[in-house]
Structure 1
């Protein structure tokens, strides 16, 4: 296969997929690693290099399965090859648990930024699509959280030249998406506080385990945080006129943290109800990659656990809006979640309020662009901030 043929093939395969955001760019190149022999096939790690008009360049992984007499195909459409490569200890594949043979493979249809293939109901592989040199945060944190009970157990990894291409994890039995479940409860007017409390308790375990196994003595300046929050909110004000009436209250919220020194550690980084699964009565946090558009360095940087709490609290607000539940439903969920985490909801927490306000500002901008009918959700939160916060 010539370089041009590889470029054309990878572009054709990627441009048809939901996970690929590079349609606004152009092919800058393509490269292939060493092929791995797996039974009657060869597994070829191939990377499409995309250049964007703003100068960004991004790499996208499209692993190929090559068989004599057949056209190349995305390995995620023939997931058995990936599982056998792990089971047989092919170069680059490292198993951390015994790997069963012959499990049927099923590609998950709801993929977004990555691709997941399930192997029966026992394990799965998540193939990372946008890759950066180095250890993937999701792989790293699943290793750290092993045995904690609040994250899926690690089965193995695919790592090429120090860069993670895929992670193999426990497939959680009978999983229910946290956001789907919360919306259902909100729609039915059903109490969700038991689940909210358990979600808080599980997140506390995540944070405690990360702090113990990845100890950090780092801190952040409240003044620097406040300046960043104000800068981002000013951008929102420039885009969305409706936030102008909340500017004074928002500025007071951010000003209240200026003198704080904030302890930081490794966190989830993209925490919301869509990142938790209920599996046979147990809440498990998933997808530890952090914000998808952030760099690997940014996603690995220590932060305050309150960022994760703020993300989950904002998510409860969206579930309430989706289900049309009363304000009392949301308040009860928020209180239960904080209590489960170990915080007193009756004690003011200016830093948590600042993080949630910053998140709400981002949401206003996002909803104004893509989902105007939901802009009321973050605006309602901002409208409840006291002027003298």
Structure 2
């Protein structure tokens, strides 16, 4: 039943070279994908040979589906993920399976449960369930998370890139018309496209602000309660910032085949980084450093879905290469804002490259 969907496999052979089985990705197998969904719906527990168990649990967004309805949803393994594996169930649900596992509370499950079940925040895909593994020693690994499928026009990155490209084409057409050449002679088209992009950016800013307010609303929960930045935390952050800049300089040095001025730029980064950070650190010493709270942690336009009328923020797992403790740490919400501003800058540069 699974053979047509399996892209690759490995033969398992015994001591004498005899074939004893096949090793393949079961997510491509329809019966297995359907069994996962049924297990989440029923709250199944699957024991392992090492005295651990897989715990499958539903959330309220799955309550409206019967087992028969779930069994009828056709699963499709998606090939667009880079750090995870995903299964879409007939544009109703989507299951993300983590490929990088680490024991501890997973931020995507933790934040998804909080936003969906506790504060009922509407501008994220609703959490529908999850799968975790508990060892015999009670250590917990997040294995997969299930969300309601969001029918979107595109992610915000693709949409923004397309909008900017439309504006650049319209602008070039207007310039050609001014010179008496063929093109769109209507300057109002440029103004219309620009105004639409500004409105959408403002709406996106509102949604991100509402997300931050929702995450900071549980004053009775230590995991979500905002806290004051301490001087010690600020000093540690400055040290980490200097280290990040110096590592970036090391990566840049010697790459003259890609950037002729790479070595000179790397040297300048090394010379300026520490004095600049220490100068700003001294300037801010003794001042109010604001509060830290839970935030998205890896926010950019690619982490937002555009429905055509609104935006939904997704992918709360943080940067997969970083430890769970770091991804769950409270920080300034300006980290999310800076990530989004940088993403808009990338989109503008990308649109200009396409138009060149």
* TM-score of the superposed pair, with normalisation by structure 1: 0.62
Find 2:330's aligned residue among 285, 302, 306: 302
- Say whether 1:226 aligns with 2:238: yes
The aligned residue for residue 50 of structure 2 is none
Find 1:187's aligned residue among 165, 170, 177: 165
Matched-pair contact (CA < 8 Å) for 2:42–2:58: no
- Say whether 1:281 aligns with 2:309: yes
Task: State the distance in 2 between where 1:319 and 1:250 align.
Answer: 30
Matched-pair contact (CA < 8 Å) for 1:187–1:322: no
The aligned residue for residue 76 of structure 1 is 27
Task: State the distance in 1 between where 2:274 and 2:154 align.
Answer: 36
The aligned residue for residue 210 of structure 1 is 215
Describe the superposition over 1:231-257 as per-residue Cα deviations: whole angstroms up to 9, x where unpaired: 221233344332545654885366324
Task: State the distance in 2 between where 1:195 and 1:155 align.
Answer: 28
Give the 3-state SS of the residue equivalent to 2:316 in structure 1.
coil
Give the 3-state SS of the residue equivalent to 1:145 in structure 2.
helix
Find 2:75's aligned residue among 96, 105, 120: 105
Aligned length: 261
The aligned residue for residue 15 of structure 2 is none
Describe the superposition over 1:66-96 as per-residue Cα deviations: whole angstroms up to 9, x where unpaired: xxx9855423112222212223332111111
Task: State the distance in 1 between where 2:207 and 2:275 align.
Answer: 32
Task: State the distance in 2 between where 1:77 and 1:206 align.
Answer: 34
Task: State the distance in 2 between where 1:135 and 1:225 align.
Answer: 23
Describe the superposition over 1:190-247 as per-residue Cα deviations: whole angstroms up to 9, x where unpaired: 4221221111111111111111132132424333322321222123334433254565
The aligned residue for residue 297 of structure 2 is 269
Question: Aligned runs of 1:319-330 on 2, under 5 Å?
Answer: 319-324=347-352
Q: Are the structure 2 counterparts of residues 281 and 184 from structure 1 closer, same or farther at C-alpha, using a change threshold of 3 Å?
A: same
Shift in Å at residue 283 of structure 1? Answer: 0.5
The aligned residue for residue 177 of structure 1 is 155
Q: Are the structure 2 counterparts of residues 250 and 176 from structure 1 closer, same or farther at C-alpha, using a change threshold of 3 Å?
A: farther
Give the 3-state SS of the residue equivalent to 2:212 in structure 1.
helix
Matched-pair contact (CA < 8 Å) for 2:124–2:314: yes
Matched-pair contact (CA < 8 Å) for 1:154–1:169: yes
Task: State the distance in 1 between where 2:150 and 2:213 align.
Answer: 22
- Say whether 1:156 aligns with 2:134: no
Of structures 1 and 2, the one with the larger relative CO (CA 8 A, separation 6+) is 2
- Say whether 1:88 aligns with 2:42: yes
Task: State the distance in 1 between where 2:98 and 2:230 align.
Answer: 31
* TM-score of the superposed pair, with normalisation by structure 2: 0.67
The aligned residue for residue 167 of structure 1 is 145
- Say whether 1:255 aligns with 2:279: yes
Matched-pair contact (CA < 8 Å) for 2:242–2:273: no
Following superposition, which runs of at least 4 residues in structure 1 exceed 6 angstroms of deviation? none
Task: State the distance in 2 between where 1:144 and 1:255 align.
Answer: 39
Deviates more, 1:84-93 or 1:157-166: 84-93
Task: State the distance in 2 between where 1:301 and 1:218 align.
Answer: 13
Give the 3-state SS of the residue equivalent to 1:225 in structure 2.
helix
Query: CA RMSD for the aligned pairs?
Result: 2.6
Unaligned runs of 5+ in 2: 1-7, 11-19, 46-54, 135-139, 168-192, 219-223, 253-262
Describe the superposition over 1:20-63 as per-residue Cα deviations: whole angstroms up to 9, x where unpaired: xxxxxxxxxxxxxxxxxxxxxxxxxxxxxxxxxxxxxxxxxxxx
Q: Are the structure 2 counterparts of residues 220 and 151 from structure 1 closer, same or farther at C-alpha, using a change threshold of 3 Å?
A: farther
Shift in Å at residue 130 of structure 1? Answer: 0.9
Greater radius of gyration (CA): 2
